[in-house]
Amino acid sequence: MKGTTPFLKIFTILVFLFLYSPIIVMVVFSFNESKSIGVFTNFSFRWYEKVINNPEVWKALFNSFWVGAVVTIVSLVLGLMMAMAVTRYSFSGKSILESLILIPVIIPEIAEALSLLIMYIFLNIPLGPVTVIIGHIAFDVSFVTIVMRARMAGYDKSIEEAARTLGANEFQTFFRITLPTLYPAILAAGLLAFTLSFDDLIKTLFTTGPGFKTLPLIVWSSAARGGVSPELNSLSSFALSISFLFAVFRLRAERRLER
Amino acid sequence: MNDVFSVELENIVKRFGNVVAVDHVNLKIRENEFFSLLGPSGCGKTTTLRIIAGLEEPDEGIVKIYGEDVTDVPTHKRNIGMVFQHLALFPHMNVFENIAFGLKMRKVQKEEIRRQVKKILEIVKLEGLENRRVNQLSGGQQQRVALARALVIEPEVLLLDEPLGALDLKIRQHMMVELKNIQRRVKTTFIYVTHDQTEAMTMSDRIAIMKDGKVQQVGTPLEIYYRPSNTFVASFIGEAVNLIEGEVRENGLVDTSLGTIYCTESLTKGRVAVMVRPEMVEISDKLHDVDNLFKGTVQSIIFKGSYIEYRVDVQGNTFIVHKHGSAELERMHHPGDFVEIGWRKNSSLIVPI
């Protein structure tokens, strides 16, 4: 770019190095043959083999996926309804509702996790997949609503009126006009919701019951147990690549939205 | 005269909060008529149209379509077509799917849909564009898709809400002629909302002028231009108008600050305005054969292409005079010139204030 000083270039490169070097080191050392973390000896898939042959990892991966799927679907339905309510109608308490939507995004996750746990204990709900899912939905709904609301701000309601003048009733209008035109926004919000659920550790940690583990939980518990190890490196890289994949999908969906 | 009415509005009232958007509107729109609702923005014309469509519910009054009370019938069960201001084409469908939508909702057979879409595309001159995405079309083409989509369901009445507003002047002029032709071909009642009098004058059989939610006058373009029912209509229609206030002395005679003016005979009495269109006023150094004659000074002249606009000061009143013809260029008056202006009595009209 013209007018950019060399200083600015170097500064930018340094910032990005700072951001990404730990990840790069982790990924590089996941291919290290040696058990030592400090020295790279030989390229090998040895640790990946170990990860892949661990049934506990597969079970956790499966758990992460189905929890993510349920969370995404429920959050999308609730978030879409919420976003439609606040963008289309005016009602008393609307501005309070709009601030309430934001709060789960702002408050520290640890506080949210703890309060969820206290609530479950208070209500005597056994901890397990259900409590994990409810915990994830509780804040994914906010993210979905925020994304959808932003996308719906410029929505031209007259296409729905056009559909009605052409003989479509309210259901037909919703499923044939409203939903398809919002599809890119739904896709982007859905992928965001899934990624958030898939990556979540703190809330899962507080709200899960005995024996129910998601992928981040496995990573965390093996780190807590044995400290850093090459096996942990490859496990993390594995989890990272899945999250990365979903982030790419989401960016592509968003880019399509802008067109 | 044709006495079948496609749309009848009886005492329609619509309020938004404290604002009365539509104030006791009564209209009878004839079958196959090109009818315009014309007025400045905020006059209630769009709300009136949306009430006919069922997109707004009137607070009072009755809407009839072909004699049947449809006031409580929801939009999708009224057999109407509508073209929206911003067209409202379905962005996720191509041209064919957009046009076929209404037929699909009516559960028409696939083959029949294909045949009817093809036919309507011919009428709006969009043959061969079935598979285009709507955002790949020009403004004029999108206009035609919106029109085709509303017409293909053979509505009993087609409602158009300022559909040409977004187009540039040349395409708009072209579309005005097209719309009128299409209306003749499909033989459907068109109700057209606009704030642009050129559009209304060009296409309409009859026009309703609206202001502040009330209908001011209903008439043919000629009637509302030459026989406005009040001063609002007189000054709203036409490029300019001369209005001189006065008091009716006797039939056809009005006393004004400029003296007595001879007018077309009228039954209106009391405080009135005398209306003269600028093209009816003659201007010369010396005028003959006019019933009303005034001496004045040219204030300004504007060359407008096909005519020249003079502003002439007569005892502190400004008269606007339009003079057509290229020969005028030779004998043009200049600012400061003393001139005579005048007109015959049947060129001026008594208008209630």
Task: Look up the CATH number of the domain holding residue A182.
Answer: 1.10.3720.10
Handedness of CA A94, A95, A97, A98 (dihedral sign): positive
Query: Is A35 part of a structural domain of the chain?
Result: no
The total number of residues shown for chain A amounts to 259
Provide mean pLDDT across the span B19-40: 94
Cβ contact A142:B54 at 8 Å: no
Residue A174 lies in a domain: yes
Q: Is residue A164 part of a domain?
A: yes
Is the pLDDT at B216 greater than 90, yes or no? yes
Rounded to the nearest angstrom, the gap between the alpha carbon of residue A73 and the centroid of all alpha carbons in its chain is 13
C-beta neighbour count of A184 within 10 angstroms: 18
- Residue B332 CB neighbours (<10 A): 13
DSSP B345: G
Quickly tell me which residue has 């520290």 as its tokens: A108
3-state class (DSSP) for residue B335 = coil
Instruction: Answer yes or no: is pLDDT of B205 > 80.
Output: yes
Contact yes or no for B263/B254 (Cβ under 8 A): yes
Q: Do B150 and A166 touch (CB under 8 A)?
A: yes
B101:A168 CB<8 A: yes
Q: Please tell me the predicted confidence (pLDDT) of residue A90.
A: 82
Nearest CA among B352, B353, B348, B351 for reference residue B276:
B348
- CA–CA dist B52, B278 (Å, integer): 37
The per-residue pLDDT for B224 is: 93
The architecture in CATH of the region B239-352 reads Beta Barrel (2.40)
Long-range Cβ pairs for the range B12-15 (8 Å, 24+): B12/B48, B12/B51, B12/B58, B12/B60, B12/B61, B12/B62, B12/B63, B13/B58, B13/B59, B13/B60, B13/B61, B14/B44, B14/B47, B14/B51, B14/B56, B14/B58, B14/B59, B14/B213, B15/B59
Rounded Cα distance, B353 and B351, in Å: 6
Task: Look at the block and give the residue holding tokens 């009839």.
Answer: B64
Percent of chain B residues past pLDDT 90, beyond the cut: 64
Query: A residues 157-176 near B, CB within 8 Å?
Result: 158-159, 161-169, 172, 176
Min Cα distance A195 → chain B (Å) is 27
DSSP annotation of B133 reads B
pLDDT of residue A259: 54
Rounded Cα distance, A97 and B29, in Å: 47
Please check whether residue B159 is in contact with residue B85, taking contact to mean a CB–CB distance below 8 angstroms.
no
- Whether residue B211 is predicted with pLDDT greater than 90 in this model: the reply is yes
A207 occurs within a structural domain: yes
A4: contact with B, CB 8 A cutoff: no
pLDDT in the model for residue B195: 93
Q: A186-198 burial by CB neighbour count: b if 16+ within 10 A, else e?
A: bbbbbbbbbbbbb
Alpha-carbon gap, residue A176 to B100, rounded angstroms: 13
- Separation CA B350–CA B252 (nearest Å): 8
Task: Please give the Cα distance from B22 to B46 (Å, whole number).
Answer: 10
Interhelix angle for A179-199 vs A230-258, to 10°?
Answer: 160
From edge to edge, which strands make up the β-sheet containing B80-83?
A: B80-83, B157-161, B189-194, B34-38, B206-211, B214-219
Chain B contact present for A180, CB below 8 A: yes
**Does residue A128 form part of some domain?**
yes
CB-count burial class (<10 Å; 0-12, 13-18, 19+) for A111: exposed
Give this prediction's pTM. 0.80
Q: What is the pLDDT along chain A (259 residues), one digit of tens a residue?
A: 555 688 888 999 999 988 888 888 878 877 877 776 677 777 777 777 777 788 888 888 899 999 999 999 999 999 999 998 888 888 888 889 888 888 888 888 899 899 999 999 999 888 889 999 999 998 899 999 998 888 888 788 899 999 999 999 999 999 999 998 888 888 888 988 998 998 889 999 898 888 888 988 888 888 777 766 777 778 788 888 888 888 888 788 777 766 5
Superfamily of structural domain B5-229: P-loop containing nucleotide triphosphate hydrolases (3.40.50.300)
Q: Where are the domains of chain B?
A: 5-229, 239-352
C-alpha distance from residue B36 to each of A127, B178, B344 (Å): 68, 16, 32
CB contact under 8 A, A161 and B102: no
Alpha helices (runs of H) in B43-94, residue ranges in sequence order:
45-53
Number of independent structural domains in chain A: 1
Residue A75: give the domain boundaries.
56-258
Chain B nearest CA to A138, separation (Å): 32
Please check whether residue B82 touches A, CB under 8 A.
yes
Put simply, the answer to whether B150 touches A163 (Cβ < 8 Å) is: no
Location of structure tokens 């060359």: B303
Which residues have CB under 8 Å from B179's CB, separation 6+? B147, B160, B190, B203
**Is residue B1 pLDDT above 70, yes or no?**
no
SS3 string, chain A, reads CCCCCHHHHHHHHHHHHHHHHHHHHHHHHCCECCCCCCCCCCECCHHHHHHHCCHHHHHHHHHHHHHHHHHHHHHHHHHHHHHHHHHHCCCCCHHHHHHHHHHHHHCCHHHHHHHHHHHHHHCCCCCCHHHHHHHHHHHHHHHHHHHHHHHHCCCCCHHHHHHHHCCCCHHHHHHHHHHHHHHHHHHHHHHHHHHHHHHCCHHHHHHCCCCCCCHHHHHHHHHHHHCCCHHHHHHHHHHHHHHHHHHHHHHHHHHHHHC
Confidence of residue B204 (pLDDT cuts 50, 70, 90): very high
Q: Which residue of A has its CA nearest to B101?
A: A166
Chain A residues within 8 A of B81 when measuring between CB atoms = 165-166
Judge: B53–A165 Cβ closer than 8 Å, yes or no: yes
Query: Average per-residue pLDDT in chain B?
Result: 91
pLDDT at B104: 94
> Parallel, antiparallel, or unpaired for β B5-16 and B60-65?
antiparallel
* The pairing of beta strand B292-303 with beta strand B338-343: antiparallel
Predicted pLDDT of residue A237: 83
User: B2 pLDDT band (50/70/90 cuts)?
Assistant: low
- The pLDDT tens digits of the residues spanning B64-77 come to 999 999 999 999 99
